[in-house]
Amino acid sequence: MNNNVRLAIAPIGWTNDDMPELGAENTFEQCISEMALAGFSGCEVGNKYPRDIALLKHKLSIRGLQICNAWLSTYFADGRRQQTIEQFIEHRDFLYELGAKVIGCSEQTSSIQSLHKPLFGLDKPVFNDKQWRLLAEGYNLLADIAAEKGMQVCLHHHMGTGVQTRDEIDRYLDEVNNNVYLLFDTGHAYYAEGSQQSMLEILQKHLARTIHVHLKDVRDNVVDEVKKQQLSFREGVVKGTFTVPGDGDIDFKPVFSMLNHAQYQGWMVVEAEQDPSQANPFDYALKGRQYIRNLTGL
């Protein structure tokens, strides 16, 4: 891989933002210390991170870590434009002070990812034309607001949301301006489409618009269980849907090859939420880090 790629890891393996009971015993300092010890140079922001910028910068810098992104939920498709913009500006300014260049958002209108509903049932949100227009107008505005600080906006396609499937990702990128981008997530693309080939085709089609990458592996046997038992997204996470690269059923060699061939520049982030009581975060961080090093030289 080229020298313009940096490797980070998300804190969700240590403490889960959506399910705080997962990893409640793990402290912020344990999390970032183990990230650094495992060989990562960056991270995203979790629910135990202090909001005091000077303190957070200090804790990270002495461990050689850099903040690269943090999740923000948007609600444009249901008309909450002003609220979303206000929250985005506060979020943007926080990340800017920490040195991040990318702001990863997820459109959460009618999302079922946090609800006790079957992930592959009829409750998945499907946006109508008006909602797509509201979403596109909102993200176009966010991109302009981000540009005021020299930053860029990308949308994180996610299971249980209105931007989950291959067709929905295509429509999102068709609807927004060219200065609005994609956060490509290997795990969610594979999970949504059910195949390695479809996941790779999404990436290939949108390489030029991809400015942030989440590296997440998937266990096919757990996905089968989620479908057969009509489980929710969260129930799947607890059972082990996701894991670090090299530990599941995704072949990452062509993923890295595509990114390298396209001269991708930016962060790649290992983001593999599991139950920390069943999957020791440090052990899995090391496993994922070694796998990526072996494949890419990073």
Q: At what angle do helices 281-296 and 28-38 cross, to 10 degrees?
A: 30
Q: For each of the chain's 298 residues, which pLDDT tens digit applies? A: 667 899 999 999 999 888 888 878 999 999 999 999 999 999 999 999 999 999 999 999 999 999 999 999 999 999 999 999 999 999 999 999 999 999 999 999 999 999 999 999 999 999 999 999 999 999 999 999 999 999 999 999 999 999 999 999 999 999 999 999 999 999 999 999 999 999 999 999 999 999 999 999 999 999 999 999 999 999 999 999 999 999 999 999 999 999 999 999 999 999 999 999 999 999 999 999 999 999 999 9
As a whole number of angstroms, the distance between CA 159 and CA 9 comes to 20
Quickly count: other Cβ atoms within 10 Å of residue 248's Cβ: 24
Q: Write the CATH number of the domain with boundaries 5-296.
A: 3.20.20.150
* Residue 295: its H or E element: helix 281-296
Closest CA to 142 of 182, 180, 107: 180
In this prediction, residue 192 carries a pLDDT of 98
Residues composing the chain: 298
Per-domain boundaries in the chain:
5-296
In this prediction, residue 2 carries a pLDDT of 67
Long-range contacts of 20-29 (CB under 8 A, 24+ apart): 20/47, 22/238, 22/273, 22/275, 22/276, 22/277, 23/276, 23/281, 25/276, 26/276, 26/281, 28/59, 29/59
In this prediction, residue 61 carries a pLDDT of 98
Tokens of 4: 């313009």
Determine phi and psi for 214, rounding to 5 degrees.
-105, 125
As a whole number of angstroms, the distance between CA 215 and CA 223 comes to 17
Positions of E strands within 95-151 = 102-107
As a whole number of angstroms, the distance between CA 190 and CA 217 comes to 9
Note the pTM of the prediction, 2 decimals: 0.97
As a whole number of angstroms, the distance between CA 29 and CA 118 comes to 35
